[in-house]
Structure 1
Amino acid sequence: MNIERLTGELSIRRQLADGTATQLEAVKQIIQQVKIEGDAALMHFAKKWDRAELSSLRVTKEEIEEAAGRFDPRLLGDLTEAANNIRSYHEGQKQQGYRHDREDGSYVAQRVTAIESAGLYVPGGTAAYPSSVLMNVIPAQVAGVERIVVISPPDSEGKLSDGVLVAAHILGIEELYKSGGAQAIAALAYGTESIEPVDKITGPGNIFVALAKREVNGDVAIDMIAGPSEIAIIADESAYADEIAADLLSQAEHDPLASAVLLTESLEMAEQVQAQVAKQLKTLPRADIATASIRDHGMIYVADTRAELIRAANQLAPEHLEIMTSDAERLSEEIRHAGAIFIGRYSSEPVGDYFAGTNHVLPTNSTARFSSALSVYDFVKRTSIVHYSEQAWRNNQEKIARLARLEGLEAHARAVESRAWKKENQS
């Protein structure tokens, strides 16, 4: 993990989900094949890439109940408590519509309604993520989405992980399917014999999932194009180097493309963290992944002033930002761009991943400059409502017609004035 002096703008190596021309073409072909062949295509790809022979795509109630029956009771309690924390946090995001009444008898209003259906992608592959089930499903449930579908890649035995099944069981989700990659996104977007299409697709995945979400966007809604995981940490000499290193590695172990960055004013701290990262890497089960991440996308920047650290953090706009300083609460108020902020020594990033209640589906690639975590807001629509009374029309129809003609839209003007003609001929 290299140490550099922080001077001027950071050299940010963003991992954009553009893919190669070959990957993009492969995704387009997969989507087209799913459109044409439906279930048969999903089973073909499950055999080809997951080495799974599937006779059915849908997870049965028996599979869910069996997984719940053999699950570690302590873990079941942990997942249940985490779900309760997540639900409590997201309940605070529920929105009500509003109505503004005017003296002339007219009113304008906004109505908030949930989307009807959502498809939630849960990654498989190198790890299974029951926490992703909780983070995607619960905001949709709080929003009031009627139909919630979970889809995830099967293992070579044609099964989903017990953790994913139990998380779905805790939340009362019964519509689960065995499919992964671009083909799963295509199925959610366009439907197959077994899977009805949905209105919105959420959840992270690999490059093929990201490219597929980009391709179907517009035919259905998506949450975001998620890139590799990111963590940045602002730390001073009050922090502990071994804890900083552990937190950096917590994201590095996700993906060789994940980035881990330390921002500090202390060269001594930088050197201690560098040594701790090297030491802790030796005992990590996913050391190969974390080593590649640290080597290619890890960095320690040493600044001369606190203002430089803040400027750098806002420039990075990281997915996760930890602040481990003696004035962490105050410093956090100067951060404008971050997917999630973790304040103080005991607020390590995994606390947010699993248990605090905030959502861990977050913007990456510096898109925290303009986007937010997955939330209840992602699963609702806002409809504007206009009710004009006769008095409001009489008071304003000439003004509206003039504005329409200003823009050269005569039919707009006549649409408003047509009410005038009727009124005059009826009297």
Structure 2
Amino acid sequence: MTGQLAFVESPVQLLNVLEWTHAQKAVAGTRPAEPERTGATDGAPAGPGLPVPAEPGAPSTGGLADATAPLTVVVLSPTDPMSRGQLRRMAQLARDEGLTVRWQEARGGRGALVRTLRELSGPLRSAERVIIGDPFSRYVQLLLSLFAPRHLTVVDDGTATMEFAAQLGRGERLVRWHRKGNLGPRELVLAPVTSLARRRLAPARGRTVEIFTSLPVEAPDTLTVTENSFAWTRSRFGPPLLTRGADLVGTSLVETGVVDADHYARVVGELAGTHGATRYFAHRRESAEKLHRIAVETGLQVVRPDLPLELIARRGPIGRTVVSFPSTVVHTLPLALAGTGVRVAVCEIAPEWLRASASPRAQGFLSVVTGTAAHEVDRLTARAVSSTDRLEFG
């Protein structure tokens, strides 16, 4: 068995594969190659500059991946346009760093699943190490149920990494934190696949499992936890130009059915007024309707980033204060922006904001995300009893 294979389904997963590869080079004692800069220079606005390749693309060789075993990144392409656009740009960055990137239309209509499994069976069978970004992904679980890698690495794809580590340690079945525990018809059909994949995601005789993360995780001793310090991001971009005002970071908690849309819109407006924010960086899964409402009701400039926020912030310009709801960025932005003077704050989710249909675990999990944020992050407490309440520093 030779080589390494990474399966990514989101821009953040691909970013963290780049960070993992950079960390591997540091461990190997080799200095990462300095590729020619693309896109904005220090302090220039994020956005234009990075070329958008054709999706299949021709991979390059050499560069960052040369110090370790050959690594091929397989993009299991999602269907939503925002994710696809960010992934195309991240794929170009990965190629610039010497990684082989293969774009796979895994969800491209009838027969895509069977075709993908057939085309990937050979590379997966021969891979010494498999890197994944979302252990809850049905696609990844299906692939792992067919072939068991000798070495497995899980990189961050949001706060789900925290829940994955905890569930694995407790021996529980894998369920995303924002979903209710009851099994629907689809989950019942896929239950055998999920059960087998869960065993393949756990350390065993002849198999090692590593979690490469910037998040605080409660992992069993049998797992290897490696810190993601965002060293690649800091070495390649910035430092950013800082603006006078503040920026808000959006979340998809409304779209996932956790937070009430009216409460969310109201609090965004209050945060903007309190901190003098002018821009709202949208999550790639936020709906156009919600973003239009935020723009109209708050006057904020809604920005749809074309790269993960860690890169956008590092390239700049970025506000001197960045306010976020509980999400991965309250852990990653302080690392990506270390030494820049940017202040990061997290606004807790009050119980009154939750929808009646939200998972019973939602409030507790979001509180953990807020409570475990980096010590450099300010906590904002929210009292949401009435529309006259205001946000205070905790």
Per the normalisation by structure 1, the TM-score is 0.30
Per the normalisation by structure 2, the TM-score is 0.32
